Amino acid sequence: MADYDVVLLVEEQLNDLDAQQVRALHEGIDDPVTYHVLLPLDDAAARVEASLGTLGGADLLGSPGMPIDVGELQDLEEECEERSHQALTASVAALERVGATVASSAVVTASPTDALAAKVHDVDGREAIVLTRPHVVAEFFHVDWSSQARRKLGVPVLHLIEHQNLDEQAEGL
């Protein structure tokens, strides 16, 4: 019996409900199901650049620029890398708590959909699952990860929206 390999691309740390939802999708499969988890690196430099780009409109109003200390940027990058690795470790643990077998996991620095396509190819994946927060505009224009993956892969791609735990939902109220 060959393993039924499933590649997961997760935008954020999976919680127990997300893990249960993923595991439930494969309960009726006779072959052993093996998961491969990919989580993109939370890119500090991109965040800073995006923030400055947003603030860049203030340059038109004559506001002074905001200098960025290289040391602070490096600290932020290290913090983002550590946070990504912790989220990946917690995601794998959540899957294992619900009885899933996780064969591999990685924080990816390349394009998330390129990394997904490469992993599906490498493990001869049978399906791919993309778990993200809602991205209404990207989904509307079909430039979200799921749409990109569907164009690149020859396997089914399922897009799931990650759940927030009750504490996070309460904070948002």
Structural domains of the chain, with CATH: 4-171 (3.40.50.620)
pLDDT digits (tens, 9 = 90+) for 106-133: 999 988 888 998 999 999 999 988 887 6
Name the pLDDT band for 78 (thresholds 50, 70, 90).
confident
168: buried, middle or exposed (CB in 10 Å: 19+, 13-18, 0-12)?
A: exposed
158: tokens are: 């399922």
**Helices (DSSP H) in 25-69: which residue ranges?**
44-55
**Cα 103 from Cα 38, distance rounded (Å):** 11
Name the pTM for this structure: 0.68
Per-residue pLDDT for 172 more than 50? no
Number of C-beta neighbours around residue 81 at 10 A: 16
